[in-house]
Amino acid sequence: MEDWFSSLTGLFSAPESAFWWPGLLLALAGAVWFGRDRRLWGRSRDYWRELPVDAGCFLANSTLPFLLAPFFFALGLAASRVGAGLATALTGVPPLDAPGWPLLLFCAGLAFVAGDLALYGTHRLFHAVPILWKAHRLHHAPPVLTPLTAYRFWPWEQAMHMSANMLAQGLALGLSAGLFGAGITPLTLLGVNIFALAWGAGFTHLRHSPVPMPYPRWLSGWLISPHMHQLHHSMALEHRDRNFGTALAVWDRLFGTLVRPDATERFHFGAAGSASRPSSSLDIGRPRGQA
């Protein structure tokens, strides 16, 4: 509890925080540039009505990394040992044990990509399985989106997402260590994976907002823009079960769930239409919609 309270004091100053001040400044600049149309913002009473739920979920879920730290550490350690053993079995040679910064950068990228794939998988499961959807519906319920909506999950759901992420990153780090030496670690900046830091500073906040920030079409085939994630929250039936990705669009593109909206397209948010019921099946690999 002491560690949790200490983390709250660094809510805006700690680089690992989702509300690190450089990211907030970038989000504010994006909101000013892309959100000048006041009709995008919805009704103020909706924001006030959803705020207690969002704030409560934020406070509850922000405790999980501290309350479940031993469990997450054990998951990551077990997965890293599996990854290291797999690397040794595949290569049959001792690791190089001399990583330079390119290998550290590769390790950071591999961990980031593996974690992102795990989040795609758990997100899709929570849409596809009825009992899981009943929990995930809380995230899709509000008619307005704010950065706090990113925390709007039941704690047990958030714990499942975090566990999958830890397993995937541990496996990636174990593979890296098995190939390049036990001393290899992800390249970090200010103590945070450099890719995660860039994503958190530049893209996180506007994902859950009414600000329609698109990417160029070529880039939106690789990264999920805020505008693309807003489509995921759309009430429209044609947007149902689309754009599950967190950071990378490659998983949606690979499994046929990617939709890149027109830059002028706008959405009504809420748990009706696309979010009113789960998928009948996972339909892995089946193309859906126009990418």
- Asked, for residue 262, whether it belongs to a domain, the answer is no
Whole-angstrom Cα distance, residue 218 to residue 151?
A: 30
pLDDT at 45 over 90: yes
Tokens describing residue 285: 């690999």
- Asked, for residue 170, whether it belongs to a domain, the answer is yes
- Reported as a single tens digit per residue, the pLDDT across 221-238 is 999 999 999 999 999 989
- Asked, for residue 248, whether it belongs to a domain, the answer is no
- At 123 the pLDDT is 98
Residue 122: band (very low, low, confident or very high) from pLDDT cuts 50, 70, 90 = very high
Nearest Cα residue to 226 out of 196, 247, 201, 252: 247
- At 273 the pLDDT is 44
pLDDT at 185 over 60: yes
pLDDT at 282 over 50: no
- Asked, for residue 188, whether it belongs to a domain, the answer is yes
Query: What are the φ and ψ backbone dihedral angles of 57, each rounded to 5 degrees?
Result: -65, -40
Q: How many Cβ atoms are within 10 Å of 28's Cβ, its own excluded?
A: 13
- Asked, for residue 234, whether it belongs to a domain, the answer is no
Across 233-255, average pLDDT: 94
pLDDT at 132 over 80: yes
In three-state secondary structure terms, 277 is coil
pLDDT at 280 over 80: no
Quote the domain boundaries for residue 55: 12-217
- Asked, for residue 252, whether it belongs to a domain, the answer is no
Query: Lowest-confidence range among 29-33, 179-183, 214-218?
Result: 179-183
Residue 113: band (very low, low, confident or very high) from pLDDT cuts 50, 70, 90 = very high
- At 287 the pLDDT is 39
Whole-angstrom Cα distance, residue 125 to residue 32?
A: 35
- Asked, for residue 100, whether it belongs to a domain, the answer is yes
- At 190 the pLDDT is 67
Angle, CA of 107, 226 and 13, to the nearest 5° = 65
In three-state secondary structure terms, 188 is strand
How many folded domains does the chain comprise?
Answer: 1
- Asked, for residue 270, whether it belongs to a domain, the answer is no
